[in-house]
Structures are given as C-alpha cells and as structure tokens.
Amino acid sequence: MAHAIEAPAGVTAEGQTSHTQNRFSPYQLRMLHGGINGNRVRNLRGMSHLEAWDVRRQLIRVFGFGGFSIDTVSLDLVSERESKTGERSRWTIVYRAQVRLTLFTPDGRKLTHFEDAAAGDAVNQPSLGDAHDLAMKTAVSQALKRCAVNLGDQFGLSLYNNGSPEPVVVFSAAHPPEEWKRVEPPQPEPEDPPVQPEPGMAQDGDGGEQVSEVQAQEQSVETPMEALRRKVNNGWRDATALEQCLEEARAHGLLLEQVGDGMTVEALLTNRINELHDASMGRAA
C-alpha cells in the first residue's frame, strides 16, 4: 500500500508561506486534473498500462528537472530457479522492490512522498546476468508506477477503471477549481505520438517491462514441452488435435511429465480425449 506524507500548507522550516508556494502551483494542478492522452496508453492482451519511461517524462513535465527524486528503498531477490533442457540452462528470477517517489517545489522544498512495492520477474532467460537485470528493472519500474498513480489520472489512475483514459478524479476539495482553473493551458498544447517500448527492446507478453531483442529471439526457440503445452492449449476442444499431441508427447518422452496436481501429461490428455469423445457420442444420441 502506498503512503503519502505532506507538509502543512502554510508552514515551512522558514516560517509561514503561501498556500501555493508550499504546495502544487495552479498550473501543476491544472495538468494533474486533466485526463490522460490516449497516445500515452499501451494495450497488450486487453490490459492498459503506461511505460515506465513515459511516467518519468510526465514527472519531468509536471514537476520539472530536479523536481522529484526516485529512491530504491530495498531490492530483494525472491527466487532464482534454473531449468535445464539437455545441456542448456534457462533462468527464472523474481525480485521485490520498494521505491520512494519524492516531490519538491521549484525552490527545492519537499512537497510529499509516496512509497510502494512491486515484484518483477524474468522468465525462462538464457543468461543468468540478463535475467537478474531484467527482473530488477521490472520490479523497480512497476513500483515506481504504483507510486506515481497516487498523483491521479495523468499517471494512470483512470486505467484502473476498465482501461478508460477519461478522468476519474475530476475534483479535489483540497484544491478547489478556483485555485487552478484560472490558469490557461499552453497554446498549442503538446500532442504526443503513440508511446512505444524503448528502442532496441521488444515488449513481453504480459504488459510488464521489456526484454531485449536477442532475449526475445532466444525465448522464441521452444523446448519440446513448451511446444506441446502450446499445442494442447490450442487444441483443447479438438479430440483429433489432442490425439496428435499425445503421439508427440510419446515421441519426445514427455508422457510422464507432471503438469500439476500430480497428473501426468499422458493422464491429462487421455482423460480429456475421452471426455470429448463421450460428449460427441452424447450429442449424436
């Protein structure tokens, strides 16, 4: 859960100051109350998300260069698992990161900070070093995005509302409209092209962080078990396709591989094929 600590509106170490001097400026509030530009949102497998680099860009736009700091409070290895296919090793790594996002006024006084945590993984990587690097980066990036979402719609809060870019904050009693609506937006307002993953990187399949193109190519080489799993998923409603999968499993010596709850590949496929045949006979009757 995120935590925010904010200084009192009218008090600083130097004494009394104005409400806006020690808090957000009217123009910052205008930006924060606006809806997110749809070009900043990426959608993968039906899940809307922001790229970590775009979150940093928006932090610079709203708070300025040096107007915020990002600190990794902790970064812990959760799991390191090696799997082998023949002589080739694959690595799955998981890290947990705790990150603090701190915001400052233009003259350097602290406004507030948020802390949040996230886990990040790197699955089935051919290089142990790259796997650690990717998992750490993903955990830190995800934790940063969770911190930033406390700043509202510009940082992805509305995306939790079924992926919608429409504002969900709209109003804050602490920042009444007369405090910021008098400030006109810049003309013309910047129009961002659609956000893309980092250059030279390929997006992974679950909307998380990136993997390198070399890693993506490596991961595209399926092991026999991975290929079998894919074919079973695709042919789950087709008895003929599953019979072919059963023969393929026999040819690769995979019949006794465990697939969960102590069930073997052979038992899983045989039971499913029988279910489909029984259902087909029932419809025919």
Which band of pLDDT confidence, cut at 50, 70 and 90, is reported for residue 113? Answer: very high
Domains and CATH numbers, the chain: 3-217 (3.30.390.80), 224-284 (no CATH)
The region of weakest confidence among 141-145, 209-213, 269-273, 280-284 is 209-213
**pLDDT band (50, 70, 90) for residue 103:** very high
> Are 249 and 231 contacting, i.e. CB atoms less than 8 angstroms apart?
no
Instruction: State the burial class of residue 265 (Cβ atoms within 10 Å of its Cβ: 0-12, 13-18, 19+).
Output: buried
Residue 191's pLDDT is 75
Count the Cβ atoms, other than its own, within 10 Å of residue 204.
20
> Strand, coil or helix: what is 111?
strand
Q: Is the Cβ–Cβ distance between 27 and 180 less than 8 Å?
A: yes
Amino acid at 261: D
Please give the average per-residue pLDDT across 255-273, as a whole number.
82
Angle in degrees, CA 57, 63, 67, rounded to 5: 100
Each residue's pLDDT tens digit, 177-232? 887 787 776 666 667 778 787 653 444 433 444 444 334 434 345 578 888 888 88
